[in-house]
Amino acid sequence: MGETGAVTRRGLRSLALLWRRARGLRVVTPFGPRTRRAALRLVFFAPALLLLVFLVVYPIVQTVFLSFVGPGGQPTLGNYRTVLSDPDTLNPNWFSWPPPLGTLIHNGLWVAIHLPISVLFGLWLALILRDVKGASIVKSAIFLGMVTPMIVGGIILQFLYESGPGIVPAFFGAVGIKSLDISWLLYRQTSLLGLIFGSIWLWTGFSLIVYSAGLTTIPQDYFEAAKIDGTPPLRMFFRITLPLLRPMTLVIVTMTLLWELKIFDIVYAAEGKTGGTAGSANVLSLQMYLYFVTGKYGPAAVVATLLTVMTLFATAWLFRRMVRKT
């Protein structure tokens, strides 16, 4: 695992350097003395570029373009107006429980609840598991959720929350909380939160594994020296452990954020195409799909574009932070 940590750091550093260099605009002479060799080198890039241009870049550009095109083919901002004024996107009563509050708010809640809990819980587990016998078994158990296809993850969540076969309602029934002894995913009060909390079960393994790998890269001497100096554990955590884990934190937070913004399979499997009762668990990516299958290509393209802008911001944030470090 020590080796993997080194690879992580190397990868992070080279990316950060790259970002910096790209901003510095360094020009290299196009052709050396051996022009033929240079031309042949194009072959290394040609297949990748062809595939990327036709099946990724062109579709992206086309989607942006579509988002500005009206049903009659005329250029318009109407799609954006349609989407942003659609109660599915932002319910006028978005501050009142229960959902639907609008997909923007729902994705926001995913981030606000799921991100801190799964990241911090994973970190905490990684820390305590250092002193646990059989830690690798515990880690594997928690990591199972990451290996599970997300569509199966959604089905299992439905299974957990359904009244009858599900253990969650049965548990609340047994402890006497009758209001939660229901099929969680069918009710507006519980569907969204049920999925968000349930997904902590699926995703904590990620932060646990990356942090665990990160912890093994910290030389043990640091902790021992601090211990000899009588540093209290909490101070040790904030002064030594956390700063040294910073590259891992950046990657974990960004990847988790991207995962939450793009969340689709789980909601589709557990709540169906429409995102649950009255769309109470709907999210942006599912909303895009719904627009798409009902033939509203313009609004579908708008949702996709907005989603992409968000994910790009998250990624740019990661790069920025990494540059500051090196």
Partner 1 sequence: MKRPLRRIRLRTVVVHLIAWSVALAWIIPFLGVFNTAVRPVSETTFGWWRVDSFHPTLNNFVTAFTQPIYSLSSGYRNSLIVAIPATLAPLFVAALAGYGFSRFRFPMRDYLFLTIVLLMSVPAQMVAIPIFRIMDTLQLYDNLLSLILLHTAWGLPWIILFMRNFFQALPLEVEEAARVDGASDFRIFFRIVLPMAIPAFASAGILQFMWVWNDFFFALLLIFSPENMPATLLVPNLARGAQYTDWGLLSAGSILVMLVPLTLYVVLQKYYIRGMIGWTIKG
Q: Which is nearer to partner 1, 47 or 96 (CB)?
A: 47
Contact residue for partner 1 among 111, 196, 245, 300 (CB under 8 A):
300
Contact residue for partner 1 among 104, 129, 253, 281 (CB under 8 A):
129
Which residue type occupies 120? L
Contact residue for partner 1 among 47, 75, 176, 232 (CB under 8 A):
47
Long-range contacts of 273-279 (CB under 8 A, 24+ apart): 275/100, 275/103, 276/185, 276/186, 276/188, 276/191, 276/192, 277/186, 277/187, 277/188, 277/191, 278/99, 278/100, 278/188, 279/88, 279/99, 279/100
Least distance (Å) from partner 1 to the CB of residue 92?
25
Q: Which stretch binds partner 1 (CB under 8 A): 36-44, 79-87, 90-98, 184-192?
A: 36-44
Least distance (Å) from partner 1 to the CB of residue 59?
4
Residue 66's contacts (CB-CB under 8 Å, 6 or more residues apart) are: 297, 298, 301
Residue 69 three-state SS: strand
Contact residue for partner 1 among 132, 177, 225, 242 (CB under 8 A):
132
Which pair of tokens denotes residue 36? Answer: 């033929």
Q: Is 63 in the site for partner 1 (CB under 8 A)?
A: yes
Contact residue for partner 1 among 199, 289, 290, 299 (CB under 8 A):
289
Q: Is 119 in the site for partner 1 (CB under 8 A)?
A: no
CA dihedral 121, 124, 127, 133 (to 10 degrees): -70
* CA torsion through residues 299, 301, 303, 309, sign: negative
Which pair of tokens denotes residue 178? Answer: 């009758």
Q: Which is nearer to partner 1, 92 or 132 (CB)?
A: 132
Burial of 103 (C-beta count, 10 Å sphere; 0-12/13-18/19+): buried
Least distance (Å) from partner 1 to the CB of residue 105?
18
Q: Which stretch binds partner 1 (CB under 8 A): 14-22, 77-85, 90-98, 108-116?
A: 14-22
Contact residue for partner 1 among 245, 269, 281, 290 (CB under 8 A):
269
Q: Which is nearer to partner 1, 102 or 203 (CB)?
A: 203
Q: Which is nearer to partner 1, 96 or 131 (CB)?
A: 131
Q: Is 312 in the site for partner 1 (CB under 8 A)?
A: yes
Q: Is 258 in the site for partner 1 (CB under 8 A)?
A: yes
| Conformational region of residue 97, where left means phi above 0, alpha means psi within -120 to 50, and beta covers everything else | beta
Residues 160-219 that bind partner 1 (CB under 8 A): 160, 162, 164-165, 167, 170, 201, 206, 209-210, 213
Contact residue for partner 1 among 86, 265, 274, 323 (CB under 8 A):
265
Q: Is 110 in the site for partner 1 (CB under 8 A)?
A: no
Contact residue for partner 1 among 182, 185, 290, 304 (CB under 8 A):
304
| Conformational region of residue 7, where left means phi above 0, alpha means psi within -120 to 50, and beta covers everything else | alpha
Residue 149 three-state SS: coil
User: In DSSP terms, which residues pair with 69 in a beta bridge?
Assistant: 75
